[in-house]
Chains A and B, each alone.
With several copies, the nearest count.
Chain A
Amino acid sequence: MHMADALISPVVGGAMWAATAGVAAYSIKKVQEGLDQKKIPLMGVMGAFIFAAQMINFSIPGTGSSGHLGGGLMLAILLGPYAGFLTMASILIIQALFFADGGLLALGSNIFNLGFFTCFLAYPLIYKNIIGKEFNSKRILIASLVAAVAGLQLGAFGVVLETLFSGKTELPFGTFVLLMQPIHLAIGIVEGLVTAAVISFVWKSRPEVMEKASLNQPLGSLSLKKVMIGLAAAAVLTGAVLSWFASSHPDGLEWAMFKTSGQEELEATDPAHEKLAALQEKTAFLPDYGFKTPESAEPAGEPTQEKWPAVSAGTTVSGLVGGVMTLLLAAFMGFVINMKNKTGKKT
């Protein structure tokens, strides 16, 4: 699943952008080092290939349903982790721009979730190790399957964490994890099977392509490997801590988010704290409604900006009237510009 702008906060989006930019810069350096100019058109055309392959329906044996390819693992296998990551980034940029899959701010997260975990964790640590020195169909199958599943599980977990840290939805952590991980297990299996089928085919029909691909790929220096393992461990640890936290402390997660997700968020909602007391008083005269604990009302948006004196009933009316007026104004603006365009064309 793609992370979407609607679900992300500027802090999380920005942080993931930074992380992605860092990995991309490093990858570009690495690709340039082994500068094989021919690799650039190969990356470009492979990106287009994966894009096209993603549109193909694969019917899943024995289920009657069908699945799609993501392509990250295949790119890593055929181009190496660095070029693979960059190519995946291009695909996601184009999807974000033309298909609005995800959106601009979520793009960083999406590249990270779908590119980094596969190219820099699943591929070098799992796929490479299972394949070992010699290729054979069985090894390709197992390695692709395990690596694809692992990569997607990590990616899905990334989506869960990013969503929760963004705090734009109210999904309980445990539920979200239980929803996301199994879905992505199925997706990962399809991904692994398709990848294995294609890689086996290429290996059988043009072994030199595979050999060249694996020669071109420095496995990465040891230090890099350590960094990867460190990152993986950190991810697992964070996940574990957070899941404990979430299960024992459902409302505390939000609190944790405020603590960890930086100043801007706090700034934006700061007035909330100040106005909280006043707010409670105001809402108190609606006694029939069970009003939830202050915590959940805490980040309530509009009331916090209630800088204009208004009684509540009036506020409702004002809000609705203002909202409708805003919509009308926007429509009116569009209409006026359109008319101007038309008269402009005539003259």
Chain B
Amino acid sequence: MSHHITEARDLFYVYPDGRQAVSGISFRIHHGESVGIIGANGAGKSTLLMLLTGILRPAKGEVVIGEVRLTKDTLNMIRQRLGMVFQNPDDQLFMTTVHDDVAFGPRNLMLDEAQVEERVISALEKVGISHLKDRAPYHLSAGEKRAAAIASVLSMSPDILILDEPTSSLDPKSRRRLMKILSGFEHTKIITSHDLDMVLELCQRVIVMKDGRAIADGPAKDILTNKTLMEEAGLEIPLSLHGCPVCGRSKSDAD
């Protein structure tokens, strides 16, 4: 399945106002990997995701998805394999019912209406919001909106799922459910989040960004327990890895 490799080659991006948000990022993500991208506010995580999806064009470097370089010509082809859930679900839900929103992608893939229906139903079921089918997206609670946004991306059966801070403003139970959905998703996942406990649970690999640069890239466990590194990046060791006040040992020692 080498054709689903996601590769960033020395990416640079400068915003029109001169702000350099991404400065020389390279990585290679294999099919089925699940990668967390972490870093302080303003580190350049969202910008990086937008470069990967072709929303922004890099100033230098290139993005290669499944051996195909992302250019203006290949953009539409490549995008059919990508699904991105935005930080703010309001930006993503623009139809009048949840059903139509989830059907928006498949309809653009020119599937016939029966196939569209099938995909919509299966996506809604997966996320557990079949009952919201006919509701208007703006009528939903924050968590339900997030779930709908995820369903609208799953219905396109992407090979690569990209999520920008998917757990923010979810209550603990909804967060749990989302994590279950995500861990059941067998293709490539790229997730940015400040919820490091979620990253620890879902991702095998973590890339740490600081000021537009990748300052670390490795197994999640190693990185998230590295106190100096995390401090340097303006982060903290996840709570679930904090030392136990009773026995005084860090939990990561356990395994």
Contact = CB atoms under 8 A, between A and B. Distances in A.
Interface of A: 201, 204-205, 208
A119 to B, nearest CB: 26
Contact of B16 (A201, A204, A205, A208): A208
A215 to B, nearest CB: 14
A194 to B, nearest CB: 15
A61 B23 CA distance: 42
Contacts of A208: 16-17
A137 B17 CA distance: 22
Contacts, number: 7
Chain A interface mostly helix, strand, loop or mixed?
Answer: helix
A201 B17 CA distance: 17
Size category of the B interface is: under 10
Contacts of B138: 205
Q: Which of A201, A204, A205, A208 has the most CB of B within 10 A?
A: A205
A176 B104 CA distance: 44
A204 B136 CA distance: 11
Nearest to B138: A205
A47 to B, nearest CB: 13
A205 B138 CA distance: 9
Contacts of A205: 96, 136, 138
Contacts of B16: 208
Q: Which 4 A-B pairs have the closest CB atoms?
A: A205-B136, A208-B16, A205-B138, A201-B96
Interface string B15-54: 0110000000000000000000000000000000000000
Contacts of A201: 96
A210 to B, nearest CB: 14
A208 B136 CA distance: 16
A204 B139 CA distance: 13
A343 to B, nearest CB: 25
Contacts of A204: 96
Contacts of B136: 205
Nearest to B136: A205
A42 B136 CA distance: 22
